[in-house]
Structure 1
């Protein structure tokens, strides 16, 4: 016994203790009957060290300086970096504490290396982890403030414009200079080209707020209402990237589908019957017909009796489907302004087009239509409407065009004139590329005016 005490007294100076099984996590037992707590100032652990300690990661219980088993000791041997950590300890302070007292402080070293798989030690580790979570959250908030969202990856930011080849200029002289200088000199566009690009910009301006409905009205047949609907739809579809559709809602056998080359053989009645089966655009594309400008046409029934059965409820069903897949929905309405489908058309309208011919009675009917709208709850639609003066007959008219325009400009937002075109007057399919330059320009101007009206707040219902 004395020999063992002598060995103990020699080992105390070197920090070797006789027994450690009765120690707390941060307590050190000394042979003389007292207990001392050693508070160590260790280096701060790396940020990626986990404060949570699993029971399987705890070292085995040590009895009389020997591990419980050789395998367990080997399994839980500390890494070399941790074993050498005590060499960095500076100014360890010894604080005397009565035997059996609970230490008041727990070091990070004690947390990561408790003396044994003590349940209370695990609870203390979890408790410290909870206390440190606010600090960790603050660090994450600071990092989140510096993070960029995907919306910041724009083409203007990422593309090196100095390495992007400029588009080839338009015009004979501009192209000659561009090629002769090895694509180094680009002359300014001609006034005509600049005007065309500006018109493209106006037509292709983005629209917000869901699908826009634009009915085309006329209380007199033969003024070119269906032709105007077709021209407007082609001009929009040719310049815009989104989808455009024109719906024939004429109860008296509309001819909208006959104004394009391609036909599907389906009508609005087929869409009403199959509305529950339309789950994607492919289902809808099998019913509509598409023009070369990407304008989609939904034809009316050829039988007037079936067309008459097309009700306001049916129109709402068709409009709901069209609004899901198209940005602009044009409606070729009939001449009956009190028809039930007309009520549904006006309820959904964002902007109106009133087509008038160049005769006294045609102009008077168009003006009376505006008066009816103003007195039946659609005064705002009437004020923001567009009147289209369509020339459906060749030759000079006895009607003064300036007087017509002057009258309607006092009542509506804009007036657009469509010149006579023999290609349209045939009554057959219309090819947008085969139109006269003045007619195509007038159709594009009409499209730009309509888009500007749809983009203006308060211009609709």
Structure 2
């Protein structure tokens, strides 16, 4: 057996080392080992993970459940590290490395382009070929410009032209209609951030302050989509509720007493009267003793509830300018309406009201105030109204004349539709000025 193994090795050496001087079989057998082992080091298998899997890969190391407070493991970058510390599972996602510089910007590949999403101009220019996408079915492409607005124009002549041309010629609304719509847009100004408070006041009674409050509220409520309320805060037994058809005997005192039980607008609406323009009116106390007891704290309760359900709160303040209710009213005021009559003493007292307000820290309200001159009072025909307007123009933002109207002079229920057109127009102008003077957003 040993001899056979020697011949095999001799033949192998002779074959491999051909041309080398041969050696003896005995010497070759003695030089070779009994066995030959060759170790070959092969490269370890490498399993690369895709980039999206590396971003959410967990650690390969196991977690010992007995060691809750220990950190499972840490890696430098490119993986997600899970830490178990004090019964909290905390995952830390690190950013994949971008190179040697850690501050280097990461290049974000662009989103793939979807076939078929292109503009009509690209198709017309021959940049893209093939079927159109749904995004190309736009209104600008499909609707003819002259047929987009099919609203019939308002006004006699525009409506006539629109009719005889079989709706092919639309010259637009008449000038008067355009002015009316522009005024409606001003009155309907939307407000953000809570209710807006507008006190209506003067130092002299009998100048039509309650009437102006009612007209202003009706003009606002007839156009706006939100709610408008007028509160009678007159401590001398106000008559605001007598300007509309009264639907309840509740007063501001009932609101104060029932405030804890009022949970929504349905509960509050049972305490107010609503007219045809959707103006809500909250009456004052009919008992003079209770009216005098209506103080600053009571007004704040009523005002807070009204602010929940109404966008504009008008306050008929009465003649008690130094009454405690006046202080609470002015502190909430976003706009101010001063009422003046057409006589000398009425105009002078209205001007003194502005002076009192400026002296008590309400100068900004005075500069943005609106003066409503009621020309239905006695002595108007003997006074130069232009001079009164010139005086107030130097102190306030705007002046509006309220013309004489038989329905207003009667001192009874006011019907908005039965007022003279000039009276409604003056009330609408007053409402537009008030709405435009208040901040659209709270704090602006």
Structure 2 length normalisation: TM-score?
0.70
1:39 — aligned with what?
A: 45
**8 Å CA contact 1:381, 1:459 repeated in 2:** no
Give the drift of 1:344: 1.4
In structure 2, the residue matched to 1:225 is 209
With over 3 angstroms needed to count, the CA separation of the structure-2 counterparts of 1:311 and 1:190, relative to structure 1, is same
* Equivalent residue, structure 1, for 2:299: 315
**SS of 1:276's equivalent?**
helix
Contact 2:341 2:347 in 1 (8 A): yes
Change (3 A) 1:372 1:52: same
Change beyond 3 A, Cα 1:120–1:219: closer
Aligned to 2:80: 130
- SS of the equivalent of 1:38 reads coil
Go from structure 1 to structure 2 and tell me whether the alpha carbon gap of 1:394 and 1:459 turns closer, same or farther (over 3 Å shift): farther
Compared CA separation, residues 34 and 289, structure 1 to 2 (3 A) = farther
How many residue pairs get aligned? The number is: 353
User: Which of 162, 165, 183 is the aligned partner of 2:167?
Assistant: 183
Q: Which moved more, 1:226-235 or 1:385-394?
A: 385-394
- Aligned counterpart for 2:223 among listed residues 234, 239, 244: 239
Change (3 A) 1:158 1:218: farther
Native 8 Å contact 2:343 2:378 kept in 1: no
2:23 counterpart residue number: none
SS in 2 for 1:441: helix
C-alpha change, 1:141 and 1:357, in structure 2 (3 Å) is farther
Matched with 1:377 is 361
Per-residue CA deviation, residues 273-326 of structure 1 (Å, 9 max, x unaligned), is 111222222221121222221211111111111111111110111111112222
Partner of 2:86: none
Deviation at 1:43, TM superposition (A): 8.3
Q: What is the distance in 2 between the residues matched to 1:161 and 1:212?
A: 42
For residues 98-109 of structure 1, what are the structure 2 equivalents within 5 Å? none
Is 1:433 paired with 2:417?
A: yes
CA spacing shift, 1:34–1:244, aligned 2, 3 Å: farther
Whether 1:301 aligns to 2:307 is: no
Deviation at 1:430, TM superposition (A): 1.2
Instruction: Give the unaligned 5+ runs of structure 2.
Output: 1-36, 66-71, 82-91, 97-105, 112-137
Q: 1:358 aligns with which of 322, 342, 360?
A: 342
Q: Which residue number in structure 2 is paired with residue 445 of structure 1?
A: 429
Counterparts of 2:349 and 2:378, CA distance in 1: 21
Root-mean-square deviation over aligned CA pairs: 3.7
For the residues of structure 1 that align with 2:73 and 2:388, how far apart are their CA atoms? 90
Query: What TM-score, normalized to structure 1?
Result: 0.67
Map 1:18-417; keep pairs closer than 5 Å: 38-40=44-46, 44=50, 119=62, 129-130=79-80, 133-134=93-94, 164-393=148-377, 397-417=381-401
Shift of 1:35: 7.6
Q: Is the 8 A contact 1:453 1:459 kept in 2?
A: no
SS at match of 1:330: strand
1:119 Cα deviation after fit: 3.5
Task: Specify the structure having the higher radius of gyration (Cα).
Answer: 2
* CA deviation vs aligned residue, 1:188-229 (integer Å, no higher than 9, x gap): 322211111111121112234432211111222221101100
For the residues of structure 2 that align with 1:458 and 1:242, how far apart are their CA atoms?
Answer: 17
If each structure's helix is expressed as a fraction of its own residues, which one has the higher value? 1
